[in-house]
Structure 1
Amino acid sequence: MSTSYIVKELYIYPIKSLAGISCKSAMAEEMGFENDRRWMLVDEFNQFITQREYPFLSQFYPQISDGKMTITYLDKKHEFFIDENLGAPISSMVWDDKSEVVEVNKTTSEWFTTQIGFTCKLVKIINIGDRKHTSSKLDTTFNVSLADGYPYLLIGSESLDNLNEKLQEKITFLRFRPNIVITTTVAHEEDNFEAFQIGNGKFKNIKPCGRCIMVNNDPSKGVVKKEPLKTLSKYRKIDNSVFFGTNLICLENAVINVGDTMVF
């Protein structure tokens, strides 16, 4: 009897490094799920800001409804229209990739500046091709949103279950910020997937995802701990990278849903 892989959870992370949104369905596009990491915070030098330096960013919770995004942080709220922007291009970088973005509006930037405690602004990527990422493994360039490297991250359920068996304090998938979680029976079997389809969406596996210190940030508290990177490094380290989950690209756009079956 062949193994059946079912979509268990779907997530988008509208603003890079802020909290994510659990979805029942999501539109898969070339640059990532619709509204996934289309926005990011940059400092006064237009350098992107992440939980690596500011773990408390995990405490900013976005929601999208009726064309607006609402951000909740502690007892504060702010909202803006997802389509609004000031239009003037800003040259920024996501790691080594040049990224052309635009500021959302001055009021939103001022709100984040007040909450975070230093000058920053919220910017958005508008067009396909405004940020490109080159895979050294494939010698191929992809159109990506503002995600670290690739448009999608997929994790199998058994990979987390296997890790939690080794941890004293159990964790959830939220540590790893996946876009797609599927039911699996063998830990890390997702690393070896090739091309597959979910609903009418077609995907291709690019490579296992190397993890950084950010997975040690407990997203529910914004506090950095020693795990799970310490334990993962004992059995998932290859050369100088620790792997968990795998990076995908989308070859054909479509809506995918929790409960969909993966077809090879």
Structure 2
Amino acid sequence: MKSTHIVKELFVYPIKSLAGISVQSAKAEEMGFEYDRRWMLIDGENQLITQREHPVLSQFYPKIIDDKIEVTNLGKTHSFYIDESLANLIAVTVWDDESIVVEVNKSSSEWFSNQLGFTCKLVKIINNGDRKHKSTKLNTTFNVSLADGYPYLLVGSESLNNLNEKLKDKIGIERFRPNIVISSTTAHEEDSFDQFQIGKVHFQNVKPCGRCIMVNNNPETSRITKEPLRTLNTYRTVNNSILFGVNIVCQNPGIITVGDVLEF
């Protein structure tokens, strides 16, 4: 039986914590969409850099142009080749997971350092399996990208509509950095999804996604406010975690496209 749930939007975030790219179709892989969070910034101590500490990262706008990633910030643009990397391996930690990454090149690290005003490196994860994440709920270990935990985040349209009904200043879905936005009929019904298919790609719902201070960052201004976490806290808190959207994993590779129907 076909679902009434349809893919409305798809997003890829090439560099962790930078702005995302809206796309019409995307190649789903175990680690996440192709090019999604394969790159990130680390500081001089090899610690990851995110919008949590540096909300201005929302003002860096990437594009994928042929075989390059192009990033624009404050009127300045830098690009690097997708396949580009240096040889030296760097051990990093992405929250609870150890990962192996490599620096892209010295000029990219220098450009980001100049734009941000402190020393950092642009690094990438190359191989499937260079970072693994254990799901205690599913008792399974997944090969993942440099995303916070799981490779995909799915949000239903009514979840945002319901939230905006409670907010004085309405917000867009980009606050929640989803990969897949679907049309839905009731708020947060995606929490109850189990296994489903989009196109020829099978997905498994792992768990609802716990949200952090990043959703309070207005991506257009990089200004932190108290919303929407303050309002979400009044009706979406479970075990001290504020939930919005669901973390999902991909069970086989394939292309999904805006307009595709979810089948359960």
What is the TM-score when the length of structure 2 is the normalising length?
A: 0.99
Distance in 2 (CA, whole Å) between partners of 1:252 and 1:137 is 20
Shift of 1:239: 1.3
Report the counterpart of residue 42 of structure 1 in structure 2: 42
Distance in 2 (CA, whole Å) between partners of 1:241 and 1:150 is 17
Answer yes or no: is the 8 Å Cα contact 2:3–2:263 preserved in 1. Answer: no
Deviations 1:138-188 (A, max 9, x none): 222111000000000000000000000000000010000000000001000
Deviations 1:223-244 (A, max 9, x none): 1110000000000001110000
Report the counterpart of residue 57 of structure 2 in structure 1: 57
SS in 1 for 2:187: coil
Q: Which ranges of structure 2 fall in alignment gaps of 5 or more residues?
A: none
Q: Aligned residues: percent identity?
A: 66
Distance in 2 (CA, whole Å) between partners of 1:87 and 1:174 is 35
Runs (4+) of structure 1 exceeding 4 A deviation are none
Shift of 1:205: 0.3
Distance in 2 (CA, whole Å) between partners of 1:196 and 1:2 is 10
Distance in 2 (CA, whole Å) between partners of 1:32 and 1:75 is 30
Report the counterpart of residue 124 of structure 2 in structure 1: 124
Shift of 1:2: 7.4
Superposition map of 1:76-115 within 5 A: 76-115=76-115
Deviations 1:177-230 (A, max 9, x none): 000000001000000001111001110000000000110000111111100000
Shift of 1:107: 0.3
SS in 2 for 1:235: coil
Answer yes or no: is the 8 Å Cα contact 2:3–2:262 preserved in 1. Answer: no
Answer yes or no: is the 8 Å Cα contact 2:156–2:245 preserved in 1. Answer: yes
Distance in 1 (CA, whole Å) between partners of 2:174 and 2:225 is 15
Distance in 2 (CA, whole Å) between partners of 1:135 and 1:13 is 22
Report the counterpart of residue 166 of structure 2 in structure 1: 166
Report the counterpart of residue 16 of structure 1 in structure 2: 16
Q: Does 1:179 align with 2:215?
A: no
SS in 1 for 2:251: strand
Answer yes or no: is the 8 Å Cα contact 2:3–2:261 preserved in 1. Answer: no
Aligned partner letter, 2:33 = F
Aligned partner letter, 2:87 = G
Question: Aligned-residue CA RMSD in angstroms?
Answer: 1.0
Distance in 2 (CA, whole Å) between partners of 1:199 and 1:140 is 24
Report the counterpart of residue 194 of structure 2 in structure 1: 194
Distance in 2 (CA, whole Å) between partners of 1:160 and 1:197 is 23
Deviations 1:115-141 (A, max 9, x none): 001110000000000000111222221
Aligned partner letter, 2:259 = G
Aligned partner letter, 1:145 = S
Answer yes or no: is the 8 Å Cα contact 2:2–2:261 preserved in 1. Answer: no
Distance in 2 (CA, whole Å) between partners of 1:252 and 1:239 is 32
Q: Which ranges of structure 1 fall in alignment gaps of 5 or more residues?
A: none
Distance in 2 (CA, whole Å) between partners of 1:232 and 1:217 is 15
Deviations 1:20-41 (A, max 9, x none): 0000000000000000000000
